[in-house]
Amino acid sequence: MLPKRPSDLGGAASAARGRGTSAARWYLVGTPNVGKTSLINAVAGSRLEVGNWAGTTVEVTTATASLDGDEIVLVDLPGAYTLASTSPEEDVVLPAIAADPHGVIVNLVDATHLARDLTLTLELAELGRPMCVALNLVEHAMASGIAIDDAALESRLGVPVVTLRDHRRHGAGSLVEAAREARVPEPITIYPERITSACIGLAPSSLTRWHALAALADELPVDEPAARTAREALIADGIDPFLAIAEARHVTAHGLATVATERLHDRADPGERVDRWLLHPLVGPLALVIGLALTFHLTFALSDPWVGLLGTIQAVLSGWVAALPLPGLVTSFLSGALIDGVGTVVAFAPVLFALYAILGFLENAGILARVAFLADGLMKALGLPGRAVLPMVLALGCTVPAVQATRGLEQRSDRLRVALALPSIPCSARLPVLVLLAAAFVPTHAAWVVTGLYLLGFAVSLASSLLFRRLLPATPSTGTMELPSYRWPPARLVLGLAWARTRSFLKSAGGPILVAMVLVWALLNVQLPGGTSLFETVARFLAPAFAPLGMNDWRIVGALIPGAVAKEVVLGGLALTLVGGTAVEPLAWVEGLRTLGSGVWIATRDTLTALWGFGGGEAIDTGLSARLAGVLSTGGALALMVFTLLYMPCVATLTALRQAFGTRWMLLSAAYQTAVAYLLAWGVFALWP
């Protein structure tokens, strides 16, 4: 059965408006890229993930705000163009609203695409629920020469209408008042007489007006005999209910937009001129590669001074520990397992923060959406829907949410093919390892080497998807991709997202890293007969298998073992095996404080120099560089980078694959990734010994 009409809409509206109501729920509904998540962050001060292309949020997320003593739950629903289920995102919206008959609908409308977005507004009005309308991106409309008359729109719709400024708190207070004054609108769409008569015949029974129309249009599975009979009668008379209903809404939405807008001047959108070049089939990919290299260069330039500072902190802490009257085993644990192991990984938090800040800017400026658009044709050539680009972009941050994002693809075969190809894309956890090795062996070309590795990861991912196409039947799919307007995101939003993502990385990786490093340290200190440790014995046993890759030293092989837990642990393993056993000179407290103060000054100075001169050191040094150069050739280092880039997914990714597709596919992914990593690393070392 279809959902019933809410029994007491008036009471719901009154409850939503009343002061002191506990845990009222406001449902933010709108098209993709309209700014729902940014608005929630402005109202609630939350740190929800913000995406600037369609399909970023498949699940429903919430944030709680305390407004004048009322506790309000803000529900961020996925972007949708219609309430009918035409995509996985739209599958979520209507059930979420229908599950709470007392919730208030806050409809966000893109002022730059008013007629298009008002079509969804008209559908929401037919649900018979209390609602208000918020016009976002008004500044962008004004820049394009379009003035919005919100009073005229409010008069026609019969619900409160407010204007907002995107990504800012301006207007958030007006929205709160509008939501408190939400009203049940009177539907204003004028349908053909036969459609209206059929709808009136259905609505008083068990269907809301919207559901009755959806039943006539065959947009929902219907088990109402009256709805089937009415639809068949319309079709017999030569009326297509779907087209008639869609045309009526389209005409009404354009009429509303015409009444509520005034053209001030005709000014071409500068973004269109940029897109002519950025989306050019030849210029676009070239600009993409150059932009990727520039991203890594700027990442190194801005993060290098702070990586150096954290390295100085490590050295000072180790010196202080060495000066304490502690037993040798305790000193070894503090200096080795904690400071050298965990500290080496944490020392690369500035690299991740800088990368996340740059990617956050590109994401919210609308540039990453262009990257997805450029790759859309390639996806379709591989037999994948264009929407498959989204999980691949998300995989740059972390493979786990990327695997979860494959739920946005309609066909299971597409979801599985993309999920199996995702582990080849370099996530943020692998970036510190690649940065360290590239900076140690090719310091003058580190940015280009890391860029090449990222491109290699994407190439292997796409090739894997093509290979799995033979195992899994490809299904033809269609879809559209919307390009958001270019925007200049505020520094507060970009830096806030960068910090939240970096903090999430440290928080999620901290536990596994600590356990892995303590375990490695313990195995290094468990001596077997003959004077070697248990860890060294296992690593030496595996070392011959890696000799063809140029990795003859057992310490390099040993660092790869805990890397199966999380790729960033490879750094900690290298720190323990290569640096952990060296003696540390005791350091006085005062001398250590002077060293720390000098390090802070140098880091600040070098950061300002990098910003001013757009240069900066790419030779990041954490104390491992010299040690690595002594045990690896350049070819061996490149092979190690390729192997680390591609070998078996981390435990969290394997768990996500098992939960989504089963144990068999999880094991296949682990075996396949390791085999590909070995073969490509062997090829790299063979070409560059």
Per-position DSSP letters for 305-327, written without gaps between them: HHHHHHHHHHHHHHHHHHHS---
Give the pLDDT score at 403: 82
Q: Taking all residues of the chain, what is their mean pLDDT, rounded to a whole number?
A: 77
CA 550 to CA 689: how far, in whole Å? Answer: 7
Give the pLDDT score at 386: 67
Q: In the chain, what percentage of residues exceed pLDDT 70?
A: 79
Count CB-CB contacts under 10 A for residue 649: 25
Of the two residues 128 and 368, the one the predictor is more confident about is 128
Give the pLDDT score at 503: 74
Q: Indicate whether 233 pLDDT > 70.
A: yes
CA 461 to CA 72: how far, in whole Å? Answer: 43
The SS3 call for residue 625 is: helix
Give the pLDDT score at 679: 96
Strands (E), 236-364: 261-263
CA 420, 425, 428, 432 dihedral sign is positive
CA 74 to CA 23: how far, in whole Å? Answer: 10
Q: Indicate whether 6 pLDDT > 60.
A: no
Give the pLDDT score at 221: 64
The SS3 call for residue 470 is: helix
Of the two residues 618 and 101, the one the predictor is more confident about is 101
Give the pLDDT score at 118: 93
Q: pLDDT category, 364, cuts 50, 70, 90? A: confident
Q: Which domains are present in the chain?
A: 9-180 (3.40.50.300)
- Specify the DSSP class assigned to residue 128: T
Q: pLDDT category, 553, cuts 50, 70, 90? A: confident
Of the two residues 177 and 370, the one the predictor is more confident about is 177
Of the two residues 646 and 139, the one the predictor is more confident about is 646
Give the pLDDT score at 268: 61
Give the pLDDT score at 491: 76
Which tokens is 274 given?
């940029």
Q: Indicate whether 35 pLDDT > 80.
A: no
pLDDT tens string 105-114 = 999 998 888 8
Give the pLDDT score at 57: 44
pLDDT tens string 83-105 = 886 666 667 788 888 888 888 99
Distances, alpha carbon 79 to alpha carbons 55, 334, 401, 630, in Å: 7, 49, 18, 54
CA 534 to CA 525: how far, in whole Å? Answer: 8
Give the pLDDT score at 662: 87
Q: Indicate whether 21 pLDDT > 60.
A: no
The residue type found at 487 is R
Q: Are 505 and 428 in contact (CB under 8 A)?
A: yes
Q: pLDDT category, 48, cuts 50, 70, 90? A: low
Q: Bin 626: left if φ > 0, else alpha if -120 < ψ < 50, else beta.
A: alpha
Give the pLDDT score at 421: 92
Report helix, strand and coil shares of the chain as percent, to nearest 5: 65, 5, 30
CA 577 to CA 390: how far, in whole Å? Answer: 38
pLDDT tens string 276-299 = 777 777 777 787 777 767 776 777
Distances, alpha carbon 435 to alpha carbons 59, 131, 560, in Å: 34, 51, 16
Strand-pairing partners, residue 65, are 72
- Non-local (6+) Cβ contacts of 177 within 8 A are 160, 162
Q: Are 116 and 34 in contact (CB under 8 A)?
A: no
The secondary structure element, H or E, covering residue 69 is none
| Radius of gyration, CA atoms only, the chain | 29
Of the two residues 338 and 48, the one the predictor is more confident about is 338
Give the pLDDT score at 242: 86
CA 42 to CA 78: how far, in whole Å? Answer: 18
**Phi, psi dihedral angles at 62 (to 5 degrees):** -135, 160
* Chain position carrying tokens 């209910």: 241
Question: Own/partner pairs for 84-88, CB < 8 Å, 24+ apart?
Answer: 84/214, 84/217, 84/219, 84/220, 85/219, 85/220, 87/55, 87/408, 87/410, 87/479, 88/55, 88/58, 88/407, 88/408, 88/409, 88/410
pLDDT tens string 404-430 = 668 767 678 888 889 999 999 988 778
CA 441, 447, 448, 450 dihedral sign is positive
Q: pLDDT category, 615, cuts 50, 70, 90? A: very low
CA 662 to CA 436: how far, in whole Å? Answer: 35
Go through the chain and tell me how many residues it has: 689
Summarize the confidence of residues 149-160 as an average pLDDT: 90
CA 10 to CA 187: how far, in whole Å? Answer: 16
Q: Indicate whether 166 pLDDT > 60.
A: no
Q: Indicate whether 8 pLDDT > 60.
A: no
* Chain position carrying tokens 């207007």: 171
pTM: 0.61
Q: pLDDT category, 14, cuts 50, 70, 90? A: very low
Which tokens is 163 given?
């204007």
Summarize the confidence of residues 523-543 as an average pLDDT: 84
Q: Indicate whether 220 pLDDT > 80.
A: no
* Chain position carrying tokens 């080496």: 344
